[in-house]
Amino acid sequence: MSFELVFVHLLNDSSGSPRVLKETIGAVHSQKIRSKLYLGSCGDGVLSHCDIPISRYWYRRMEHRILTLFTYFFSQAVLFCKLLADRTIDKNAVIYVNTLLPFGAALYGRLTGRRVIYHVHEISINPAPLKYLLTTIARMTSSLNIYVSDAHMKALPIPDIPARRVYNALDVGFFAKAGTSAYAHNHDGYFNILMIASLRDYKGVPELLSLADALNDQTDIRFDLVVNDDQKTIERYFACRTLPSNIAVHPRTTDTTAYYGRASLVLNLSRVDQWVETFGMTILESMAFGIPVIVPPVGGPIELVEDGVQGFMVDSRGIDSLSEKVLHLYRNKNLVAHMSVECRKRAAEFSSRRFAENICRLISESRLETRKNG
């Protein structure tokens, strides 16, 4: 069997980009396009079980940033060589690079004359030289860049490459679970505030701790922080930090629905000057459950949330303003109930059917162009 479409991804975890890729793979699989996935060997996340063949290539995340950078570049050399040696890839195959990181696949596509599609998910890439390298490779190799929001497309333009925006969507199974969950302002007597994020300062974790500390005198408010990291990383991160008594930290999970089911409010506190959210999958997931949200006033979230309708837009650097908005929702059940209804309405606009149609159309157009040029 020869494969007409090759998906490539680096880090297999439960974050937004692999979940969107899994949705993409499902859409393409339904169209009977022969596809396979090249996946980095680090992590056991949502891409571990797909309906297409998976080839692993070596990659490791290290505790030290410099070592991680070294292993990353080595992984791309390994990826390039594995693709070059793979005789099952059709000569007219399209190489679908998920995020800017798997540049080894893009170079392979360019060298072998295959069309390359980039599905771009990130804006903030550090260090700056790495960002310059990755965007330069994308400009040299890509035939189409797919972005997840209009704000994202404007924030990270790559010159001379056609660009399209396709909003992310929730899979049918998640939407079904969300639809059967009844929203409640209180759960067992508590106003539960949820944040799902990686343990990175720029994701707003220190701001969450400050908020929890500021509201510690409200005995019926409590916080859940679900992180995209393991218990060891949690212990290391909080070793030199004081954890307020009203917050519980939970390790990564592939099923967040239990946490959404008991949440009264969901926060995204990403720092607007360090990390601009390109879309915000947890925001969309929250709204599908009818949970009001507090989000940054920049980036993709402003295309999901209307200020004062499904929640509020707040710069997380202003703890006083953040506390005020949280307390306002905590004290106003009628407002929150209205927002809950609006959240579900808004989330319904991001259907997996629409996502699948848009993605499959772009892939089909690229395959048609490949055949013409071939």
pLDDT tens readout for residues 69-108: 999 999 999 999 999 999 999 999 999 999 999 999 999 9
Count of C-beta atoms within a 10 Å radius of residue 129? 9
Q: Are 185 and 285 part of one and the same domain? A: yes
Do 149 and 187 lie in one domain? The reply is: no
Where residue 344 sits, what CATH number does that domain have?
Answer: 3.40.50.2000
- For residue 3, give the H/E element and its range: strand 3-9
CA 122 to chain centre: 9
Together in a domain, 8 and 150: yes
- Distance CA(234)–CA(251), nearest Å, equals 7
One domain for residues 209 and 252: yes
CA gap 267, 194 in Å, rounded:
6
Same domain (yes/no): 323, 363: no
34: pLDDT strictly greater than 70: yes
pLDDT at position 122 = 87
Looking at the fold, whether 13 and 149 belong to one and the same domain comes out as: yes
Which structural domain range is residue 159 located in? 3-169+351-373
Tens-place pLDDT, residues 55-72: 999 999 887 888 989 999
Q: Does residue 252 contact residue 233 with C-beta atoms inside 8 Å?
A: no
The model's confidence at residue 139, banded by pLDDT at 50, 70 and 90, is very high
Name 21's Cβ contacts closer than 8 Å, sequence gap at least 6: 7, 9, 47, 98, 119
* Three-class DSSP category at 102: coil
pLDDT > 60? residue 290: yes
pTM confidence score = 0.82
Kindly state whether residues 155 and 283 are assigned to the same domain: no
Identify which has the larger pLDDT, 2 or 330.
330
- Token pair of 156, please? 């990270």
Do 203 and 339 fall within a single domain? yes
Same domain, 181 and 88: no
- What percent of the chain is predicted at pLDDT more than 90? 76
Across the chain, mean pLDDT equals: 93
What are 218-269's pLDDT values in tens digits? 999 999 999 988 899 999 999 989 899 999 999 988 789 999 999 999 999 9
Number of structural domains found in the chain: 2
Same domain, 55 and 147: yes
Spatial CB neighbours of 75, under 8 Å, sequence gap ≥ 6: 10, 40, 57, 58, 59, 60, 104
**43: region left, alpha or beta (phi > 0 left; psi from -120 to 50 alpha):** left
Asked if residue 336 and residue 206 are part of one domain, the reply reads yes
Q: Is 250 exposed, middle or buried (0-12, 13-18, 19+ CB in 10 A)?
A: middle
CA distance 265 to 321: 16
pLDDT score, position 370: 63
pLDDT of residue 366: 83
Q: What is the pLDDT of residue 373?
A: 61
| Residues 9, 137 within the same domain | yes
Cβ neighbors of 314 (< 8 A, separation 6 or more) are 294, 295, 296, 297, 321, 322, 325
For the stretch 169-193, pLDDT in tens is 888 888 899 999 999 999 999 999 9
